[in-house]
Amino acid sequence: MALTYIWAGFFIVGFVAALIQWLFLGDAEVFKRIVDGTFDSARVGVMEIALPLAGVMTLWLGILTVGEKAGAIDFVAKIIAPFFSRIFPGVPKGHPATGLMVMNYSANFLGLDNAATPVGLKAMASLQELNPKKDEATDAQIMFLVLQTAGLTLIPLTVMAQRAVLGAKDPSDIFIPTLIATFAGTFVALIAVALRQRIRLLDPVIMVWLGSAVSIVVGIVWFMSTQMTKEEIQAVSKIAANFILLSVIVIFLVGALKKKVNVYEAFIEGAKGGIQTSITIIPYLVGMLVAISVLRNSGVLGMIVSGFAWFFGALGFNTDFTPALPTALMKSISGSGARAMMIEAMKTYGVDSFVGRLVSILQGSSDTTFYIIALYFGSVGITRTRYAITYGLLADVAGVTAAIWVAYLFFH
């Protein structure tokens, strides 16, 4: 419902702002700019974004299906199962919920959204079986949801595909920065909820897992920030990102071949979903792009960005990141709205500009908190969410902060 008010508000606020400019500033062209902008945004949403996106999505959904049949989800699930048993102490050993949660996170981590959501809903239903108060979220359900909102993902597929469509020189150059940012959000969410639930963080298994992950990420960031120039960071990031992505494809193929999977048929099976996915997003994309266009051409969006710039400038910060903040604010509310904001920023400032890259990292560094909470809790009838929203938003703030910092490190 919140998105309904936001979407309608864009048009209403834009109209009021245009009316003021016409009546008090004598700008007789403002309405024409807004209407022309709506037609142009609708055309761009379909002809320049959604349809070209179909090709890239077709490729990667096919590759990911090969990986799924190669057993990638099961492989990752076996590795992280011991860690999960520690951070969900309220779930009995051997309960189906543990396996389902592991599979859900594994699928999300590998970018297999189509597989992750149904498994995640099954995991929530399984956790609900352990819930003594059916309308109130348990600690395990809150931990599960908050980690979902942090959105830890290895491959930000949709973002890279969108950058490719808009003509980025290297669509994958945001791969490493996004991984760092999404890890930061996930780490903060995990620690915060664990402290709230009094989970024993000094457990050897938890310490090894978190210590290893933090050491790797901090080591990468320290080396890049102290031992390398900006040009070297970008060069290394470009090589590493493309090497990892190509390696993932080859590993998926080799794993599938070892399992005697017909890899070409598996690829075709998954690739069929690429066109459907692109067609599915057209109404959402056009609706949000047109609404944002009204806000931009009425001058309201520019005033919002200027307000952010003034506020952070007064605090002594560099303000080059402020045009990306509307994307960050929208992300917690609506995935399609944030995607439209990202596209608008990339088209306005340039896909390879600092802002263009920052909004890409922001889009890939967290998930849609309110949607996820509504979907998962709604599926089992939970109405009392306790502290789930607060800690989900905390993960978003951590992800946004890390995204801005790492964008300055890599691209500014």
- In-domain check, residue 111: yes
pLDDT of residue 152: 78
CA distance 363 to 108: 15
* Among 131, 86, 103, 179, residue whose Cα is nearest residue 399: 179
β-partners of residue 136 are 384
- In-domain check, residue 406: yes
DSSP state, residue 92: P
pLDDT digits (tens, 9 = 90+) for 239-286: 876 787 788 789 889 999 999 999 999 999 888 877 777 777 788 778
Q: Mean pLDDT in the chain?
A: 84
* Among 162, 166, 194, 165, residue whose Cα is nearest residue 363: 162
Interval 397-407 mean pLDDT: 92
**pLDDT band at 52; cut points 50, 70, 90:** confident
- In-domain check, residue 12: no
pLDDT of residue 17: 92
pLDDT at 180 over 60: yes
- In-domain check, residue 13: no
Interval 345-355 mean pLDDT: 92
- In-domain check, residue 231: yes
Interval 293-297 mean pLDDT: 85
Residue 197 near residue 143 (C-beta atoms within 8 A)? yes
Residue 244 is inside which H or E element, if any?
helix 230-258
Q: Which of 14-23, 118-127, 151-160, 212-221 has the highest mean pLDDT?
A: 14-23
CA distance 317 to 28: 37
pLDDT at 3 over 60: no
Q: Which of 46-50, 140-144, 362-366 has the highest mean pLDDT?
A: 140-144
pLDDT at 354 over 80: yes
**pLDDT band at 111; cut points 50, 70, 90:** low
DSSP state, residue 135: T
CA distance 252 to 290: 39
- In-domain check, residue 404: yes
- In-domain check, residue 10: no
Q: What is the span of the domain harbouring residue 28? A: 19-411
pLDDT at 389 over 60: yes
pLDDT of residue 291: 84
Domain count within the chain: 1
